[in-house]
Structure 1
Amino acid sequence: MPASPAGAPASTRTRDPERKNRILAAAADLVARKGFHAVSIAEIGAAAGITGSGIYRHFDSKSAVLVALFDRVIDDLLHDEQQILDTTDDLARALDLLIAGQVEFVVADRELAQVYYNEINNLPDEDSRRLRRKQRLYLEEWVHLVNELREDLSDTEARTVVHAVIGAIQSPLFHNTGLAEDRLRALLTEAARAVLGIVT
């Protein structure tokens, strides 16, 4: 190995721990604006401040970038959900906290939520199936809580209500409301509670 200048020890190249996060953030922004198929690896790299080829040190393909984004989304939701369930015995309060988490995802992470909703079908089949299984696990806890709190509903009816409330919360992903974020949070929370028919 050649000696470094002045006899100093040769330095080893260290990987920027934030680079992967920059790639994911850049991909989320570009895909939200242009769509998955219209975005190239080179564009993602340029937006992340690296060469397109540099992305392949972290991800095997453009689809792999999208998969990593979506895994992070659903894993964060599952983690927050489990934390809620582990820290409160009040079922109505737990459901209210789940509503708040979903509302926050849609309002504060609107761009990422749009990408998730619009692009999940562009993933390889195996990844799409795996992520949808995670989605079902996330929604299953909502269904369980609604079953406990709404004894007048059958299991099928409870599932229908849960999907309706998620749809209500995610409705601003398809149009620009023009509302201030705090007002939008309040309205979506109110709408979710109304669909659920549960007083918290």
Structure 2
Amino acid sequence: MSQPAAGQGVRVRDPERAAKILDAAVELFATRGFHAVAMSEIGPAAGIVGSGIYRHFDSKYAVLVALLEDVMSQLLSSADQIIAEHADSDTTMGQLVRTQIDFCLDRRRHVQLYRREIHALQPEDGRRLRRMQRRYNEEWIATLLEIRPDIDDGKARALVHAAIGAIQSIVAYDSGQSREDQTRALTAVAESCLNATW
């Protein structure tokens, strides 16, 4: 029996309770893995009766899809807002970098979960989220090509993936540094990737 696609498994009820369920689920999924967590554990972790989760989500898989979709929706929305400001390319790239850094620092568990469980999605959901991810990356690539006419599309893609990957590496460990220091370090690393030559 196929699992529900995103949007089909989510029932419109109390949005605050649904948000609590997602907050509890992302912590459990990111630390223990999607397959290791039982649906019955999510409700109590969210402060509700275990069966109450079914008033909002039809299955554990529907919870996972909602969480992963939220990651890309948030990033795409931020990128769209940045591009809509019609700033110069250097400013746009700086804002894209800073938004990615802020997202990773503020929503570490969500990024961990996305990186770990994107392959657990059913084909249709996986393709949809990867299309969203490619669209997000394209904004970076187009902006970098405006800044660096000395490189071709292939090199721009490689540099963008390196920069985003370097920023996202922060979710894999706790550096113990202040947020300001982490932001400064990640900005410098991302800029090094984007300015690299070979």
1:82 alignment counterpart: 80
Cα distance, 1:51 vs. partner?
2.3
**Distance across 1 between alignment mates of 2:22 and 2:164:** 25
TM-aligned CA deviation for residue 124 of structure 1: 1.5
Matches for 1:178-193 after TM superposition, within 5 Å: 178-193=176-191
RMSD of the TM alignment (CA)? 1.3
Aligned residues: 184
1:101 aligns with 2:99: yes
**Residue in 2 aligned with 1:4?**
none
TM-score of the pair, normalised by structure 1: 0.88
Letter of the 2:130 counterpart = R
170-179 or 140-149, which moves further after superposition? 170-179
Q: Residue 74 of structure 1: CA displacement?
A: 0.7
Q: Which amino acid aligns with 1:150?
A: R
Name the CA distance, whole Å, in 2 between partners of 1:134 and 1:75. Answer: 8
Which structure: larger Rg?
1
State the identity as a percent.
48
* CA–CA distance in structure 2, aligned partners of residues 76 and 151 of structure 1: 29
Map 1:149-188 → 2, pairs under 5 A:
149-188=147-186
1:32 to partner: Cα distance: 1.5
Mapping 1:188-199, distance limit 5 Å: 188-197=186-195
Specify which of 29, 46, 49 is matched with residue 48 of structure 1: 46
In 1, Cα distance between equivalents of 2:166 and 2:143: 18
TM-score of the two chains, using structure 2 as the length reference: 0.89
Residue pair 1:63, 1:124 contacting (<8 A) in 2 also: no
AA aligned to 1:193 is: E
Contact 1:23 1:55 survives alignment (8 Å): yes
> Which residue of structure 2 aligns with residue 3 of structure 1?
none
DSSP 3-state at the match of 1:172: helix
Structure 2 unaligned blocks of 5 or more: 1-12
Structure 2 residue aligned with 1:18, among 12, 16, 23? 16
Question: How far apart, in 2, do the equivalents of 1:138 and 1:39 lie?
Answer: 30
Tell me the amino acid that sits aligned with residue 142 of structure 2.
H
